[in-house]
Chain A
Amino acid sequence: MPLMYPLVFAAFLFSAGVYGVLARRNAVMVLMSIELMLNAVNVNLVAFNAYLRDELVSGQVFALFVIAVAAAEVGIGLAIVLLIFRNRETVNIDEVDLLRW
């Protein structure tokens, strides 16, 4: 398989994530879009790893670390969103505006 296919796929996935972060108003959806961006990076890393025939498998190892860190990030992110929801009854990031943007 040419390297171009996974790279283009990852670029689309990443762009979809960026669009989601910028367009979505629900904090949980923003969180999911960020996950999409991270997974696009994982596709890239694994594709490069296969293409380079890296003997140290740096790309795959990196992808594993990204997966683990992403899980920790989601744990903290959801906890913060829940905290806001319990105090404000909303997770709409446009309504969370006590501080001026």
Chain B
Amino acid sequence: MHPLAQATTQPLPLPEVDWRAIAPELALAVAGVVLLLVVAFWPRAGRGVLAGLTLAGLAAAAALTVWNWDLERVAFEGAVSLDGITRYARAVLLAVGALATLMVAQGDSREGEPDDSPPEVFPLLLFALLGMVLLAAASDLLVVFIALEILSLSLYVMAGETRRLAAQEAAMKYFLLGAFSSAFLLYGIALCYGATGSTNLLEIADATGDPTADGTLLLAGVGLLAVGFLFKVSAVPFHMWTPDVYQGTPTPVAAFMAAATKVAGFAVFLRVFAGALGGLVVSWRPVIAGAAVLTMLVGAALAVVQTDLKRMLAYSSISHAGYLLVGVAAAATVPAGVSASMFYLLTYAFMVMGAFMVVQYVSRLGPPDDDAIGERSSLEDYRGLARRHPWAAGLLAVFMLALTGIPPLSGFWAKYYVFLAGIEAGLTWLVVVAVISSVISAFFYLRVLVVAYLQEPVGDPGAETAPGRTPALGVALGLAGLLTVAIGLAPEALIAAARSAERILG
């Protein structure tokens, strides 16, 4: 008998199919497929109908998440793990998905002029969310890889959904650098598999405590994994793609990327580094801490010189990734690092989505500019916004102050808990750098408000055409603003919920 044939005579252990454990993911997958069929067979379905169906799918997934709330188990032979991180990330991601659906439904539309972006963006949004939710629950490097690709492939297409040249260029850059970073991540996975003999995070966690494991191979693998993840969460020095991609992509998609990929990316970052590779913390902490320092300082410094608000928000999101890396660096030894990071992700997701919503609102003011390369998002367009659109300017102020971290808004508490965890882990120097970066970042956040409140509008404000009815965007803006203020006023309940996420790999 052929030697290869012999290997298969042993019966393979079959994993028990635990439908309940992945019920929210299944709901998203089914909703996505159904929506794809609706788009194909009912081409004249309005965006309102599609957005409604998307929201229905999200609601079903949310209901199943609530149904599974107290479930703590490892399913599918350790491939999927249901614990605090999974649950918290699911809740945040579904909420972000709902806000993104509202933004996408509004799109670029003006009075009497519907948005012309393809309706496929709704199923793609659901597929991307499926990847993100699965990524947060993944407890096997194979599932990590597949979930990451599901979300990345959907986002590559979403980034280039409009005819604007800037969006297409952003899609290409996002694709090339995303695929490049996936290859590094995969190489790291392969080396970790070779060193520990398994792709399962639980078994890797056991093996890293074992001194007989091949140290060099494992460390090389961990290093490449770090490169891959740092690329995905856009940390310096792997941040080059972020400004171009955020500036070029349609604003709703950019908001979704900025908020949701951060949540999913940091959830898996925490699970792999603070959880499975926690035994090697001495080896990887200097790398992550170094990346955190660079990310915080470079992100804040480059944001100062930007003249385009979307690009500025991209650099701001880079510096926020730096604060989150402080949480990751702390998380391996201090459980509060995990809960602080998860809470940060929750608050950051709503702040940054709110900021992008204001950008979307302002970009729709004025005459249509379909021939323009990108959307209207220059800082110039915000001059005198307070006089023209006081509500939009007021919400812009809320989000900018929250991103700066001014109490009592949500951003303050997020930073407070992360810095506290950092000090508890003995990373005081890192927290000092983070505070310096926060001070620098206050400059560019407040500059936006100076432009909006103190400068005179350019041209004749009366000549400005109305943006048309904005029910979807209005609702989304209201919700994001409300959440940002409410979390700031009462953070205790949510930080308590995050504390339940501290035990990784439950």
Contact = CB atoms under 8 A, between A and B. Distances in A.
**A–B interface present (Cβ within 8 A):** yes
A18 to B, nearest CB: 8
A59 B75 CA distance: 21
B500 interface: no
B183 A76 contact: no
Contacts of B149: 69, 72-73
If over half of A's interface residues share one DSSP class (helix, strand or loop), that class is named, otherwise mixed; here it is helix
Contacts, number: 120
Contacts of B142: 58, 61-62, 65
B145 A65 contact: yes
B347 interface: no
Interface string B161-196: 000011011111101100110110011011101100
B33 interface: no
Contact of B199 (A62, A72, A73, A83): A62
Given A65-B145, A77-B179, A80-B160, A98 B169 contact: yes
Contacts of A62: 141-142, 145, 189-190, 193, 199
Given A34-B183, A37-B187, A66-B186, A59 B193 contact: yes
Contacts of B191: 44
B244 interface: yes
A40 B12 CA distance: 27
A27 B193 CA distance: 32
A56 interface: yes
B335 interface: no
Interface residues of B, number: 44
Contacts of B141: 62
Contacts of B243: 99-100
Nearest to B245: A99
Nearest to B149: A69
Given A76-B153, A76-B157, A80-B172, A48 B193 contact: yes
A45 B180 CA distance: 18
A38 B186 CA distance: 8
Interface of B: 7, 10, 12-13, 141-142, 145-146, 149, 153, 156-157, 160, 165-166, 168-173, 175-176, 179-180, 182-183, 186-187, 189-191, 193-194, 197-199, 240, 243-244, 247-248, 373-374
A101 interface: yes
A96 interface: yes
B179 A99 contact: no
Nearest to B196: A52
Nearest to A45: B190
Given A73-B179, A77-B156, 13 more contacts: A14-B187, A34-B180, A40-B187, A51-B194, A58-B193, A66-B145, A76-B157, A80-B156, A80-B160, A81-B172, A84-B169, A98-B165, A98-B248
A55 B190 CA distance: 17
Nearest to A7: B194
A74 to B, nearest CB: 9
Instruction: Give the 7 A-B residue pairs with the shortest CB-CB distance, closest first.
Output: A48-B194, A37-B183, A44-B190, A99-B244, A41-B186, A69-B149, A34-B179
10 contacts: A17-B183, A61-B142, A65-B142, A80-B160, A80-B172, A83-B168, A84-B169, A84-B172, A99-B244, A101-B240
